[in-house]
Chains A and B, each alone.
Chain A
Amino acid sequence: MTQENHALLEMIDVYANYGVVQALRGISLHVEQGEIAALIGPHGSGKSATLKAICGLLPVARGEILFAQQLIHKDPMEKLVGRGIAYVDERRLIFPSMSVIDNLVLGAYRRHGKEQKEKIEQDMQTVFELFPILEERKKQTAGTFSGGEKQMLAIGRAFMSSPKLLLLDCPSLRLAPVLVRKVMRAISELRDQGVTTLLIEQNVRAIVNVAGRAYVMEEGKIVLEGHPRDLLAAQ
């Protein structure tokens, strides 16, 4: 069996545009089940566009995206959440006027049925174990949080949808180093819970101990692939 047959996510020769600007020019990549993979590269290289194409926010002009061997590139984001893809935007996009607990409850919006109720409670506990500050401030209005706390809440909320694949756009953006380490540790722990992650990072050093694979992007294309440690050495 080839490596691609195990891939949870596969992009095959994907093109996508922001209006008249070509954002992706023939992207092909794969992410294995249980893996943490990273997209690295300079600003404007197409990293965010790649995540947006996967989660249905950016229409795919050409090529295919497969998730668990199913074509998904024509599905809207709302449907993809139900399939097990969770996306955390670099702006976090939490619900500022709502409490922490309401943000987390809404993370599980697509999970219906009595059998899910207990699992949702368990996932809530997992989020509180990953980020204890969210439990301490669970009644606090989310809009009053700092950038790092918002990032924790955004990741926690995404986890509440019970994702198979977590897409994180710049999880360390504008965070203090101590918070970056905390967020990266949480991502590793989510992998132990069975969550596969594809994240964006500007700095390869930040993910060298976390990610098992990295793709280097430039001008909408993948120009290098390998273990972050090897890419760092090549740098």
Chain B
Amino acid sequence: MLDLSAILQFFISGVNLGCIYAAIGLGLFVVYGVTGVLNLAQGEFVMLGGMLTVAFYTAGTALVPSLLMAVIIAALVGAMLYRLIIYPARNSSGSTLVFLTLGFAFATEGIALSVWGWEFKSLPSFWGSPNIQLWGATIFGQTPWVVGTTLLLVIGLFFFFGHTIHGKALRACADEPLGARTVGISTDQMALFSFVLAASLGAVVGAVITPLTMTGYGVGMPLTIKGLLAALVGGINRAEGVILGGMALGMAEAISAGLMPSGYHGVIALGILIVVFLSRPRGLLVAPGKV
């Protein structure tokens, strides 16, 4: 029989994981919405954000400048991915572009391995935030930072897409690319911007989760898969769907981690995906048959 503290612990872990998956899924959503490309390198920006922040921080730079420099470098790498790899192949099929992002992900992993080695790295909790005990459950000191950062990212994205001219221009590119060009929006510039934005989002998430999960050269691809599952479960065409998908996945993983052997984590995530795809092929927020 589960007691209240165990249920609360599952819930806290679920929210924490859900925020991470939702934030990664939102990076995928931004790029997919504007360019139609499933960017399988999204997790690599999370890895870069974490590794670069650790590198700068351990070299003696303060936390905030370390994080900012990591985000700027990741954004530049995102711009390179678009300009040097996606843009020249922009007229290729969707599957070709997906494989190109996959190749970029493996190349980034290889470079990270040669630069930083195979050891996992970590950061202390931001500003030494202490763990909190709540009715027998433990909230790690970094968890409020993860949840708060995700909330800020979500609010920021909703404001950007809903209330700024550039956000609306990005949505216009997703809605009707040729129509966007007829009003003078450069779809190429918007595509570049979407990769930069997604890379920056990923890097912020990477830096914030590192004190909690640690980071290493190989963390990118598993995180991409989790973010992708979140996006597909909720519906990659809608930000609300991606957030819902991330939360559902995080909760399911947290509960399964408490009740089942650790080897079943992946099974639970994929099981949810299969059930959702069979019942709602376009995601939880889109009824079957609707676009």
Contacts and interface: CB of A to CB of B under 8 A. Distances in A.
Do A and B assemble together? Answer: yes
A145 interface: no
B171 A98 contact: yes
B184 A78 contact: yes
A106 B182 contact: no
A109 B176 contact: no
Contact of B175 (A86, A97, A161): A97
A: interface residue count bin: 20 to 34
Interface in B94-148: none
A68 to B, nearest CB: 17
A107 interface: yes
Interface string A106-148: 1101100000000000000000000000000000000000000
Interface of A: 55, 57, 76-78, 81-82, 86-89, 92-98, 102, 105-107, 109-110, 157-158, 160-161
B184 A93 contact: no
B176 A105 contact: no
B65 interface: no
Interface in B47-101: none
Contact of A109 (B169, B171, B178): B169
Contacts of B175: 95-98
Interface SS, B side: helix
Interface of B: 165, 168-169, 171-172, 175-176, 178-186
A82 B183 contact: no
Contact of A93 (B165, B168, B171, B176): B176
A109 B184 contact: yes
A78 B171 CA distance: 17
A88 B183 contact: no
Contacts of B179: 89, 92-95
A121 to B, nearest CB: 15
Contacts of B181: 57, 77-78
17 contacts: A76-B186, A77-B181, A78-B185, A81-B182, A81-B183, A87-B182, A89-B179, A93-B176, A95-B180, A96-B176, A98-B171, A106-B172, A107-B183, A109-B169, A110-B184, A157-B183, A158-B182
A224 to B, nearest CB: 29
A81 B179 CA distance: 12
Contact of B168 (A55, A94, A106, A158): A106
B112 to A, nearest CB: 37
Contacts of B185: 78, 106, 109
A142 to B, nearest CB: 9
B183 A89 contact: no
B176 A81 contact: no
B183 A106 contact: yes
A77 B171 contact: no
Contacts of B182: 55, 77, 81, 86-89, 93, 158
B183 A94 contact: no
Contacts of A109: 165, 169, 183-185
A150 to B, nearest CB: 11
Nearest to B187: A78
Contacts of B184: 77-78, 81-82, 109-110, 161
A139 to B, nearest CB: 13
A158 to B, nearest CB: 7
